A and B are shown apart, each in its own frame.
Chain A
Amino acid sequence: MAAELQPLEAAAAPAPRKRKPKHKKSKNPSKRVKQKASPMATAKPRQPSKKMKKLFRKRAREYHSDEEDDGDVEREEEPSSGDEEDFDVRDDGSGGSECDDEEDERGAQHGITRFVGGCRAFRVAFMKIMKKHLPDDPLGPILSAHKKLVAEKLAEDDAEHKKKGETKKEKQLAAENGHIKPANFLDAKEKFLIGVATKGVVKLFNAVSKAQNAQIGLNPSKSKDTKVLAKRRKQAFFSELQKTNTQVSNSRKEEKSNVTGWAPLRDSYMLTSSKLKDWDKMAEPAAVVGQEHESSESSDE
C-alpha cells in the first residue's frame, strides 16, 4: 500500500516534472518497500506463528478441563498420543470419563490416560452386568458361568441342614415323651391325693399313739410283761385293723403272737423257714399248742 502510494505520488508529482530517478526505482524496489514496511509493522499487530497457534490450542483445551466431554478427552488424547505410543488402549479409555476418580487426576495427563484406559473396560463390563436381568434366586445372583452347578450344590447343602434340624427336633421331642411340668397350684386331683395320704398318716399315727400309750408303763425286756404286752398289742392291732377302711391299708406287718420287744430274744430269730419254727415241740405232736401255752413255755425257758 505504501509502496503504491509512493509511485503515485512520485508519478503525480513529477508529472509536471520530468522522470529523473528511473534507475533509482528499478535498482532498489525492495529496499524502498522494506524501509517503508518496517515503520508500518510497528503500527499494526503481527500474525501468530504456527508454534504459537499450537500453544493457544492447548490452553483452550485446558480451559475446558472441568467439563465432562468426550470430545475434550479425545482432543486431549490425539495430540498426546502422538507423543507417546506405549499404551494400547485408546478408544476404550472413554469409560473413564464417567469415573469420578478421573476428574481428580486430570492434572497428570499421561497417568490419566492410562487409568482412563483401564476404567473404560471396567465400565463396559459393569454396564453389561447391570443390564442383565437376573432371576430372583433365594441364593442370590450368581455371576459365574457355572451357574447351575453352584446352584445345585447350595440347594443340596440347604436340604441337608433342614434334615439334620428336623431329626434333632424329633429326637428331642421323643426324649421328652411323658415328661410334664406340674402346675404351680394344687388342683383338685392333687388335693384329693394329699388328703388320702394325710388320712393314712393320721390313722397310722393314731394307732401308734394308742399302742404305745398302753405300754408306757411296761418295760419290753421284762418277761412278765410280755404276756400282757402281747395280748394288748394283738387286741389293739386287730381292733385298729377293723376300724380302718378297706381303702387304706398300711404296711404294718402282722406280728407274731409270742413276740418280745427285742428280736434276739425271740424264738424265731434268724429262723426263716417256718418248718423249724417249733422244732422243740415236734416230738409232741399231740400236745395242743395254744398261743398262751407257747408263750408261757417260752417264758419259762
Chain B
Amino acid sequence: MARFKNKNKKALARPVKNQPSVDHITGQKIPKSFVFSRGKLPGPLRDLELDLRKLMLPHTALKLKEKKRNKLKDFLNVAGPMGVTHFLMISNPKSVPHLRVARTPQGPTITFEIQEYALAADIARSQARPSCPKELFSNSPLIVLSGFGSGGQHLKLTTIMFQNIFPAIDINTVKLSSCRRIVLLNYNNETKLIDFRHYSIRLQPIGVSQRIRKFVQKHEVPDLRNLQDVSDFVTKAGYGSESEADEESATVSLVSDLGRVNRASTKSAVRLQEIGPRMTLRLVKIEEGLCSGAVIFSEFGKEADDAHEEEDHED
C-alpha cells in the first residue's frame, strides 16, 4: 500500500512521538538531529549511517526515510516544525567518505573527512563479550572532548558544536542511572586527527571478591564441589584480573543505589566497554551557512575549496 500512496510525497520523516522539545529540568531546548546521507552510499557507509542514528538516540529519527530525490531543502522544511536543530550528513564524494555536522537553519557547517571507520558490528565481533542492551539507548550519551584546548578558533567552534548536539545535563538533578553511554572526541595535535569513540558505562562494586560479585550479578549457581564449607567460597582469596589494578583510579562513590550491587556511598569502579562506530576524522572545512556561505576555515586552501563547492552544488 505504501508503494502507491507515497508517490507524491517528498521528504518522508515520521513525527517523533512523545518527545519533549524543552527539557523540563534545565528549561532549555532539547537538541534533535537528523542523520541522513547525501548521494548514493556504498554498503558499509550505509551501515555507518545507521550506527550514527543509533548513537544519537533518543533525540533523533531512527527510521528516517529518505528518498533519492530528497534534497537538503526538503529536510530543512521538515526540520522547522519538528524542532530539529542539527543535521549529520554522510556523503561519499570521489570515494572518500565525509561527515558534515550542521546546525539548522542557518548554522555553521563543519565538514570532516572520515579517514577510517569501523562499524558497531565489527567492534562487537572483535570483542570477547560484546554487550549492547537496548536500555542503553533510552538516554542521551554524555560527551567528553579532550585535546581541543590547544587548537585555534576552528577547534573551539567544533567543541561548541558537539556540545550543543547532545542535551545538557544538570549535575544537581541528573540521575546517574540515566548516564549509560559516553561519546569521546579526542583531538591529536600532532596528526590533527580526531578520534571518535562510543562507550557504554558499567559500574561494578569493588571490595568484593570476583566470585561473589559474579554470583550476585549473574545469579549463576557456583560450583562448590571442591569446597568443604560455604565460608571457603566467601573468604577465598581470588586472583584479581589485571584490569582491576587500573580500576583503583577509576573509583567513584555513588550517591544513590544503582541496581542491586552498587549501593550508595560505597565505592564502585567505572568500566567502559566500546560499542558503536569508531571513526577517525579530519577537520576539512567550516562554512558559515548550511552547506553554503563563506568558508571560515579550510584545511587545504582556496583551490580545494572551489572543488568541494562544486560538489556541493551538484548535490
- Give A contacts to B, CB under 8 Å: 174-184, 190, 193-202, 204-209, 211-213, 215, 220, 229, 233, 237, 246-253, 255, 261-264, 266, 268-270, 272
In the complex, which residues of chain B have a beta carbon less than 8 angstroms from the beta carbon of A251? 142-143, 163, 166, 168-169
At the interface, yes or no: B171 with Cβ under 8 Å from chain A?
A: yes
Check if B126 sits within 8 Å of A183, measured CB to CB: yes
Are A180 and B252 also in contact (CB < 8 A) when A197-B182, A204-B142, A237-B171 are? Answer: no
Closest Cβ of chain B to A90, distance in Å, is 75
In the complex, which residues of chain A have a beta carbon less than 8 angstroms from the beta carbon of B36? none
Closest Cβ of chain A to B120, distance in Å, is 11
| Residue in A196, A206, A233 whose CB lies within 8 Å of B184 | A196
A–B complex contacts, Cβ < 8 Å, 25 sampled: A178-B96, A179-B44, A179-B116, A193-B186, A196-B144, A197-B182, A200-B184, A201-B270, A205-B252, A205-B270, A211-B172, A212-B256, A213-B255, A229-B172, A233-B172, A249-B149, A250-B142, A252-B168, A252-B169, A252-B170, A252-B171, A255-B172, A261-B172, A263-B24, A263-B25
Are A208 and B184 also in contact (CB < 8 A) when A177-B95, A193-B195 are? Answer: no
In the complex, which residues of chain B have a beta carbon less than 8 angstroms from the beta carbon of A174? 42, 95
Bound state CA distance, A233 and B116, in angstroms?
A: 42
Check if A177 sits within 8 Å of B97, measured CB to CB: yes
Interface 1/0s, chain B 254-274, versus A by CB < 8 A?
A: 111000000000000011101
Closest Cβ of chain B to A186, distance in Å, is 9
In the complex, which residues of chain B have a beta carbon less than 8 angstroms from the beta carbon of A208? 171, 174, 176, 255
If A178-B116, A196-B184, A263-B25 are given as contacts, then 4 extra A-B residue pairs at C-beta distance below 8 Å, sorted by A number, are A177-B97, A193-B195, A198-B272, A246-B149
Closest Cβ of chain B to A82, distance in Å, is 85
Closest B residue to A208 using CB positions: B171
Check if A175 sits within 8 Å of B171, measured CB to CB: no
Q: Kindly identify, within residues 222 to 259 of chain B, every residue whose CB is under 8 Å from any CB belonging to chain A.
A: 246, 249-256
Closest Cβ of chain A to B30, distance in Å, is 12
Check if A180 sits within 8 Å of B118, measured CB to CB: yes
In the complex, which residues of chain A have a beta carbon less than 8 angstroms from the beta carbon of B145? 249
Q: Kindly identify, within residues 61 to 98 of chain B, every residue whose CB is under 8 Å from any CB belonging to chain A.
A: 95-97
Bound state CA distance, A179 and B116, in angstroms?
A: 6
| Residue in A202, A220, A252, A253 whose CB lies within 8 Å of B252 | A202
Query: Top 7 nearest A-B pairs by Cβ distance?
Result: A175-B42, A263-B27, A200-B144, A253-B168, A205-B252, A174-B95, A197-B184
Check if B272 sits within 8 Å of A201, measured CB to CB: yes
Check if A270 sits within 8 Å of B142, measured CB to CB: no
Count residues on chain B whose CB falls below 8 Å from chain A CBs. 64
Bound state CA distance, A212 and B42, in angstroms?
A: 48
Check if A194 sits within 8 Å of B199, measured CB to CB: yes
| Residue in A202, A247, A250, A264 whose CB lies within 8 Å of B250 | A202
Interface 1/0s, chain B 109-140, versus A by CB < 8 A?
A: 00000111111001100100000000000000
Are A261 and B184 also in contact (CB < 8 A) when A175-B42, A247-B146 are? Answer: no
Check if B170 sits within 8 Å of A255, measured CB to CB: yes
Q: Which DSSP category, helix, strand, loop or mixed, fits chain B's interface?
A: mixed
Bound state CA distance, A175 and B117, in angstroms?
A: 12
Bound state CA distance, A229 and B119, in angstroms?
A: 45
Closest B residue to A212 using CB positions: B255
In the complex, which residues of chain A have a beta carbon less than 8 angstroms from the beta carbon of B144? 196-197, 200-201, 248, 250
Check if B168 sits within 8 Å of A180, measured CB to CB: no
Bound state CA distance, A213 and B252, in angstroms?
A: 13
In the complex, which residues of chain A have a beta carbon less than 8 angstroms from the beta carbon of B142? 200-201, 204, 250-251
Closest Cβ of chain B to A219, distance in Å, is 13
At the interface, yes or no: B147 with Cβ under 8 Å from chain A?
A: yes
Q: Kindly identify, within residues 179 to 197 of chain B, every residue whose CB is under 8 Å from any CB belonging to chain A.
A: 179, 182, 184, 186, 195, 197
At the interface, yes or no: B278 with Cβ under 8 Å from chain A?
A: yes
Check if B42 sits within 8 Å of A211, measured CB to CB: no
In the complex, which residues of chain B have a beta carbon less than 8 angstroms from the beta carbon of A269? 27
At the interface, yes or no: B309 with Cβ under 8 Å from chain A?
A: no
Bound state CA distance, A246 and B187, in angstroms?
A: 13
At the interface, yes or no: B152 with Cβ under 8 Å from chain A?
A: no
Check if B172 sits within 8 Å of A182, measured CB to CB: no
In the complex, which residues of chain B have a beta carbon less than 8 angstroms from the beta carbon of A272? 29
Check if A207 sits within 8 Å of B184, measured CB to CB: no
| Residue in B117, B171, B176, B199 whose CB lies within 8 Å of A197 | B199
Closest Cβ of chain B to A241, distance in Å, is 11
Bound state CA distance, A246 and B142, in angstroms?
A: 18
Check if B27 sits within 8 Å of A253, measured CB to CB: no
Most buried by B among A179, A199, A204, A263: A179
Check if A266 sits within 8 Å of B27, measured CB to CB: yes
Bound state CA distance, A200 and B181, in angstroms?
A: 12
In the complex, which residues of chain B have a beta carbon less than 8 angstroms from the beta carbon of A193? 184, 186, 195, 197
Bound state CA distance, A117 and B89, in angstroms?
A: 83
Check if A180 sits within 8 Å of B43, measured CB to CB: no
Bound state CA distance, A105 and B147, in angstroms?
A: 99
Are A178 and B197 also in contact (CB < 8 A) when A207-B171, A250-B144, A263-B25 are? Answer: no
Closest B residue to A185 using CB positions: B126
In the complex, which residues of chain B have a beta carbon less than 8 angstroms from the beta carbon of A198? 250, 270-272
At the interface, yes or no: B23 with Cβ under 8 Å from chain A?
A: yes
Closest Cβ of chain A to B2, distance in Å, is 29
| Residue in B97, B182, B186 whose CB lies within 8 Å of A201 | B182
Check if A247 sits within 8 Å of B172, measured CB to CB: no
Closest Cβ of chain A to B144, distance in Å, is 4
Check if A202 sits within 8 Å of B171, measured CB to CB: no
Closest Cβ of chain A to B132, distance in Å, is 15
